[in-house]
Structure 1
């Protein structure tokens, strides 16, 4: 056993390879002279619904120079697969937040994330802006999304959640806390949905990291610009001395049986939009919202308003109850 100090608190980790349902390495993840690998793996107990990243984060989990790679909205295999290949070339790991309807559109590709050793979380059922929905419909988006991702994976995802558009209604923060799910905001936005040139994606990430010095980075594995940018970007992260931290879950997410049944019906009949269409304009919500009482809706895309800004609380200095283990 070995002790490290984080934020003035001693936490205990074990110096050994990670063996977890959420991390199944297919190559040696120890950093080398040419590969990023994984410098640290943090196992999270999501029972208390911790919140990571962004201005409202409760904890500073990263040391200077450390980054967490995250990807939203997939899978779309034309872009997801080369992104997975780029990560594999560096023997490094990321967290992917899947949209439920995308996952059940291509279960084979969804399972590929796990086969490559990555963590899979949830990004709702249809990428709806939850601040525009009633609490009931917003909960349905979360629960059906979780069940759909579980159905596509063949097992529950990690209890990790990211809000679409990073729009976080307080009622759903409470709901996720009650559902024992950790939420992930971001510190660095690649803006890959805005940039078509991979060099612009690359430059944006490196510029922002030079300012923040660390952080959770947001990409989208439905964007061609990210698929093209990632190989050179990962090499540049290595050249600049950045280190990759991988987040895994102590326990899998729990799912609601009613939504599990609905997800199984959907995946059986494939009654959903094609996963081959990406979201080139991130400002448009997806048109589908399915609830247990109404599986047919004709909602049209709408341009969401930005949620009102809220003051950022100071990071929590209390003991890290969410921290299960640190592997180094």
Structure 2
């Protein structure tokens, strides 16, 4: 790859997107794993997650002819000319992450490339939230009395060893499915087909960023996970991870349209929390409702910012002399 101004901005966008997605989105998948394994050295957890990340990278690269996004960027062509305007979305994600707001990087980053894709992504994400909420509610209504009450009663005791194996399996399963969904948010800034050198570079960057995430034990977004009932318990984390992974697989097979995994995660946690309240009275229904409403409000705040950025992008591109393919007002680049 040549390193003129266009390609340097591509690389900067990729680095910022990788950092912002890892800081904001990855914790949805790894948050319960970090919470329930807080007594283990961070580097042990990182080696486990990093091994799965490496496998997903190479499988996608071989299976999709150099496309690590698993084909999810087919409707998001790379711009003819990168400008600083396209570097703004991941910067905005980082700012929102700093304040613990679980913004959807799918909306904020991908709609900057193709605003016309927003309606389809939004519909799929809303359906994802509702499905996840329903799954969380039904599952925890069904298991609370027979199973989950025992977890709460024995949370001060060490769980059986087989739970450790189950939780690591569920985390690996979920982590791989999340990567397939969300790698598009990062690799939107790179060519759709990568050569081996770019593959290795991207892998090293991602491994380094996840090492930092594990070292910090999750960062600001981790609070959304730890604020929910008993998520630090390894058995609770296992149930959450399996349910989340199965929902992601369902939507992966449903269509190739990118969706907000943030919304799916928040829906699952909200349904779970209300199910526990209704069956076990772990807290008041009003409190659970306020927590769910707070999470939704944060997600909606991120969506509003995403829409604003998406529709402002053609004008920003015009100001900086860039071009984005099918925004409402594409800008032609002059020869000079």
Report the TM range for the smaller structure's normalisation.
Answer: under 0.3
More helix by share: 2
Q: What's the TM-score once normalised by structure 2's chain length?
A: 0.25
More strand by share: 1
Q: What's the TM-score once normalised by structure 1's chain length?
A: 0.25
